[in-house]
Chain A
Amino acid sequence: MWRRGFPGGTHPHYHKDLSSGKAIEELAAPEEAVIPLHQHTGAPSEPIVKVGDRVRVGTKIGEAAGAISVPTHSSIAGEVKKIEPRPHPLGANILSVVIANDGSDEEEEKAVLKPAAEQTREEMIGAIKEAGIVGLGGAAFPTFFKLSPPKDYPVDTVILNGAECEPYLTADHRLMLEHAEEIVQGGKIIMKVLDARQGFIAIEENKPDAIALMEKLVAGGNGFRVAEMPERYPQGAEKQLIKALLRREVPCGGLPFHVGTLVQNVGTALAIYEAVTEGRPLTRRVATVTGSAVAEPKNLMVRIGTPVAQLIEACGGYRGEVGKLIVGGPMMGLAQFTDEVPVIKGTSGILVLTEEEAVVPDPEPCIRCARCVDTCPMRLVPCTIQDYVEYGLLDEATDWGLMDCIECGCCAFVCPARRRLVGFFKYGKALVMERRKKSAAS
């Protein structure tokens, strides 16, 4: 096992047994899909359909706009009813295409591709971009962009991230059990695109069945090795995984390719496989629906654009008093105002907490216990940075590493004074970004 690890980290309750034994179930297509045109990091895609247009499963409805952007596809067949801003899991209302299902589930014709083995690097990257693939682990960074690092930074190592360290979530675990072969194939495509020399499939020790299965698959010595990682949050965070596995430190302000590495979530590898071999665009994903306020937790294969309420319904509905609805996991997920928000490409799970679990404790003054310092996987001093943000001293906060915070939540998780550290960091970062934008404009 890779015991060397990364700095800090913590051990939240994992609660994965709620859903880890449940095979992925396919959820019926929704009557109405709400597909936001912005589901990825970077510029939103631009609508290329009009109200009244007929679309099929896989029809492109939004075109990539800008260097870091990907197209968006319809996940159902039917008629475009509206194109308007709709509630989005990331908070604001976002321009979305609302499609009424006609029940035919007719598929768009797929682009004719050469067999994967004969495709060039550019052809494969093109297919991945056209398929609208983004990182499915949650960050939703356009994948084609990650696969095209600058020439001066050759990538020699590919890591398939199956750590799934976020508590409660089991979608990646199930994918590894049920689609192991395709994931490894997807990994090989990535290695080929980057001309990488070694590959790892990193899995936390708490998924021994997935580790055993993957180990069997890669036994032939085809470039991949399975890396059993200790159970420690945030093991699956990109920089932490690279540090633990390769002893490489992604420079502050840099990206993994700066240290010759690429990390892709296992679900993304599967999507890459489907895009390159079948020309299939990204129109569905696996999401874990879980938590003690859900009647029957499940792992669901859902169409992008399905309202969250429908996922809950498929899991037997809510149980007891619902306190909080979270898109993502408990450490980094986003609390929602409504269950009408749609599933998007980055939705790895829906977590529903009871009223009791959802109580937000009142913050008290910092007692300088240093627990946040010892747990920070970026080796920051969260208590000090939060002071600076609170007093509006953004230069000092940035100097102490505000912009290096990965918002993993470890610090606030361990804080005995219940301080809302991550809230301050998100707020502070937003202020700094705004200021940078302003100074760039002037």
Chain B
Amino acid sequence: MSNVTTEDVQAAGGSTVMVPRPPAAAAHRIGSFVDSRLTGLVLKRTATAIVLLMVVSVLSFVLISLTPGDEARAIVGLGGTHEQYLHVRAELGLDKSPPEQYWQWLTRAVHGNFGETLTTSEPVTSSIQTRLGVTISLTVGSMILSFVLGVLFGVISAVRGGVTGRLLDALGVLGFAVPSFWLAAVLITIFAVKLGWLPSTGYVSPSVSLGQWLQSLVLPVLALSIGGIAAIAKQARDGMLEALASEHIRAARASGVSPTSIIFRHALRGAALRVIAVTGWIAISLLGGAVFVESVFAIPGLGSLAVTAATQHDIPLIQGVVVCFTVIVVIVNLSTDVLYIWLDPRVRVA
């Protein structure tokens, strides 16, 4: 008889992938194995982060050197003398060659000094510091909402199917199509203007009033979350469906494992992996969305800061925001990796 290993059932619709496995590892070495993987991962991510920051900073320098205007001229203004102009130029380091200028910026940046904003002459770092907390509370709130509702919707859609499932799927599609800034405007119309339940714009610091702080965040968080909810719901749904169709779920069912356990212990774990895999991406898109949502609600965060900086051509300031966002994304990605290892022991550091 021919040497067949696949079986008719697989051919008829199932799919089982044969993966060659490495020889067994001794069980007692697992602990140290995970540790070394973690260290490697942290090192790798940090290295990527450094490269990323270098790329971002070089890029912004190249962009700036392409700028037609002259920062020093702009600062001194039309009335300034030539001496004043030269002085400012030297102060800004603009008389040096671009690589030298870059080096100067970099050495300062490493020490946490991103220069001063062109418009207010405040240190960029302090401008960012005062606004960082605002953006973080907005994005973390949206992150939590996106995960909770996204996973809930995704799982319900996968497990229930039918009308409920299709309704949720349709909502998901809408979530991708509705721009956050427009949804923000709609939410203001309904909840602030028509119903008067919540403030339409503005931000209250938690140190002033915790209740008002929460109130001022409700609409922004809702507007910002819609895309995240849709994206996570899709991942959770696909992950659940894939997990439910997998061989090990079939084996678990054949062994009499209860349906509840199948869904919540076995399949959800598989779906969680997919959701976590997109966390970094969600974080990036939430930070991007914050740019718009903060502008709509007049929230003094990094996003609205970046917009103001862009309108006023305040390049050092916007550079600082880019670096700050990049660092946040790197941190999110690193924590995602650690979570991933914790949930899926098979993950190897590529």
The yes or no verdict on A and B being binding partners is no
Q: Measuring CB to CB, which residues of chain B are less than 8 angstroms from any residue of chain A?
A: none
